[in-house]
Structure 1
Amino acid sequence: MTMTHLPNAAQALHVVPTALPVGPFRTVPNAVTLVRTVLAVTIGSIAVASGDLMLLAVAYGVFWAGDIADGWSARKLGQETRAGAVFDIVCDRACTGILCVGLVASVPSALPVVVVFVLSFMVLDSMLSMAFLCWPVLSPNYFHVVDRRVWQLNWSPLAKAANTAGVVGALALELFSVAFAVAVVVLGVKLWSARRVIRLLAAEGR
């Protein structure tokens, strides 16, 4: 179902006119995003240089907690903006990039998993997450207004937890085969989702 077929009430809840500015940028959640990114990247860089897995885990914890905090504050304070959504997406990749480098440097056996995960998260998921800009919605969290199935598989609370926690959890337990299998499944989901989004755009003549 495309956005044009939704009831007006549903559209009013999560859809913003494209003519509105994407900001403001100076918001509490964006400040949280900036702080958690600087901290996570700094700690992660030190972990890479020292080969300290525990420090790498701390960097991931800062990233994870900060990612929750910026989203919560945006909703709680009514400061969700399109600029903030893009900033969050970009910062997530900065944090994930340094953490992946640190993981491979400390645990070379994780390389196949990281390669698949990077292709999935850093490339495909980046494009998918930015796709919300093609429609008048605030962020990927509201993509259900455009396509509920794509939203369920990528940005629903369950999908966010499963897509990342499954791989990270298996790696933490040194279950590299399981982590690789989960990463491949997630990659498949991203490929399917990307194809569906492309078809949505084509159907609208874009």
Structure 2
Amino acid sequence: MTLVEPRTAVTVGPLRTVPNHITAIRTVISVTVGVAAVVAGSAVLLSVAYGIYWFGDVLDGWAARRLGQETRAGAVLDIVSDRACTAVLGAGLVSLLPDVAVVAVVFLLSFLVLDTMLSLAFLCWPVLSPNYFYLIDRRVWAVNWSPVAKVANTAGVVGAVAFGQYRLALAVAVALVAVKLWSAGVMVRLLDRDDRS
């Protein structure tokens, strides 16, 4: 069920679920390996940490849907855990490649602040997670949480950096800021429209 019926009946769901355990484990391992990469100055360890983060992020979402264990608590845990992993791995990337500092600042501010606020805004409506925001507004969902948007929002910047295309990475990061700002404007109007502000 994607919508919870009466507004007062919105529950967070059980916390002890398989996907939440996956989220917690992938976060601890990714952050730990990411910190080890910074200490060792190792691009290989940093790549492994990114791999653990991305694989775990896909796996927890798949498990939640497959096992019927999607919950609002799980969605929030996933959002917060993504930010923890991204902050550590972004710092690790800058420590290994100081030339990407400007890209990292733009991307991290966008992801850690704007995207976090947008992602948590689903809590204002009776939906389980941002994955179902198309029930509220298809345009905002399409550019932020559709499968294509999820890949593009992070992989675009990281991929460009991985291939040494720092100007392209900065252009993608700036474009993401523009998308997030537009989405925030729409979100404010939606909150007013639905009397949830």
| Aligned amino acid, residue 139 of structure 2 | R
- Taking the TM superposition and a 5 Å limit, the aligned residue runs for 1:104-143 are 104-143=94-133
Match of 1:38 in 2: 28
What CA deviation, in whole Å up to 9, does each residue of 1:47-97 have, x standing for no partner?
111111110000000000000000000000000000000000000000001
| Aligned amino acid, residue 115 of structure 2 | D
- TM-score scaled by structure 2? 0.96
Inter-partner Cα distance in structure 2 for 1:30 and 1:190: 27
Match of 1:151 in 2: 141
Residue 163 in 1 paired to residue 140 in 2? no
For 1:15, what is the secondary structure of its paired residue?
Answer: coil
- Taking the TM superposition and a 5 Å limit, the aligned residue runs for 1:52-67 are 52-67=42-57
Superposed CA RMSD in Å reads 0.8
- TM-score scaled by structure 1? 0.92
- Taking the TM superposition and a 5 Å limit, the aligned residue runs for 1:173-192 are 173-192=163-182
Structure 2's unaligned 5+ residue stretches are none
Inter-partner Cα distance in structure 1 for 2:62 and 2:180: 25
| Paired positions, count | 194
For 1:14, what is the secondary structure of its paired residue?
Answer: coil
Inter-partner Cα distance in structure 1 for 2:88 and 2:72: 25
Moved over 6 A (4+): none
CA shift for structure 1 position 204: 2.5
CA shift for structure 1 position 24: 0.4
Residue 96 in 1 paired to residue 86 in 2? yes
What CA deviation, in whole Å up to 9, does each residue of 1:28-56 have, x standing for no partner?
00000000000000000101111111100
Match of 1:86 in 2: 76
